[in-house]
């Protein structure tokens, strides 16, 4: 046996061992770099989602103030409608009483014209109050739709945040 051969084989084994060790170190470094990049991307997504949540919160607050405003308008309109109905009812009673008094006083042969006139006035009153109620109902429906949309977007934002957070937690637990 040659001393130099053993020494050369030993060096080769040593060099191969160092190469394997260096390769493992390089692989670990690459994995660490990938993990850092992944974490940075998750942090960017998280910041973006936080911004979206803040925007949705502002939108929700705006919707709440709009709901409050519409509710106040509804309350005022409802009060006005009730007041108008009471006034109209009093007016109708006065008109009916007036026509009835004239009818009894005069015993006119054309009393059907008075009754027809009274009936026409009552129909016009009914139609005008119904139109006011329908417009108010349409406004309430639009408001309800706005509230549903705001709530839906807020829930979607919340679900978008939970997924990346769970990914980040599972990734950190692996490290």
Kindly write down the DSSP assignment for every residue of 137-172, as one continuous string.
HHHHHHHHHHHHHHHHHHHHHHHHHHHHHHHHHHHH
Token pair of 70 as six digits: 């519409």
Based on the structure, what is the number of domains in the chain? 1
**What is the per-residue pLDDT across 83-131, written as a single tens digit (0 to 9) for each?**
666 666 677 677 777 766 665 555 545 555 656 666 666 666 666 666 6
For residues 42 and 164, is the Cβ–Cβ distance under 8 A?
yes
CB atoms within 10 A of CB 150: 19
Q: From 85, 71, 88, 89, select the one nearest 136 (Cα to Cα).
A: 71
Q: Is the dihedral of CA 50, 54, 57, 59 positive or negative?
A: negative
For residues 143 and 7, is the Cβ–Cβ distance under 8 A?
no
**What is the per-residue pLDDT across 14-38, written as a single tens digit (0 to 9) for each?**
888 888 888 888 888 899 999 999 9
Token pair of 169 as six digits: 């937690």
Q: Which domain holds residue 149?
A: 3-174
153 has pLDDT over 60: yes
Q: Tell me, what DSSP letter sits at residue 85?
A: H
**Long-range contacts, stretch 27-36, CB < 8 angstroms, 24+ apart:** 35/171, 35/175
pTM beyond 0.85: the answer is: no
Q: From 51, 63, 72, select the one nearest 149 (Cα to Cα).
A: 63
For residues 114 and 56, is the Cβ–Cβ distance under 8 A?
no
């Amino acid at each position: 046996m040659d001393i130099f051969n053993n020494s050369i084989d030993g060096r080769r084994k040593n060099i191969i061992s160092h190469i394997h060790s260096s390769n493992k170190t390089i692989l670990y470094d690459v994995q660490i770099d990938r993990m850092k990049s992944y974490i940075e991307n998750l942090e960017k997504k998280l910041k973006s989602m936080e911004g979206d949540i803040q925007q949705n919160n502002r939108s929700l607050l705006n919707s709440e103030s709009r709901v409050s405003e519409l509710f106040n308008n509804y309350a005022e309109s409802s009060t006005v409608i009730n007041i108008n109905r009471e006034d109209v009812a009093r007016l109708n009673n006065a008109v009916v009483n007036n026509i009835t008094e004239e009818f009894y006083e005069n015993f006119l042969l054309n009393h059907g014209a008075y009754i027809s006139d009274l009936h026409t006035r009552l129909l016009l009153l009914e139609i005008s109050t119904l139109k006011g109620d329908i417009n108010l109902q349409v406004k309430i429906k639009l408001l309800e739709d706005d509230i549903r949309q705001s709530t839906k977007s807020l829930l979607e934002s919340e679900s978008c945040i939970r997924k990346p957070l769970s990914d980040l937690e599972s990734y950190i637990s692996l490290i």
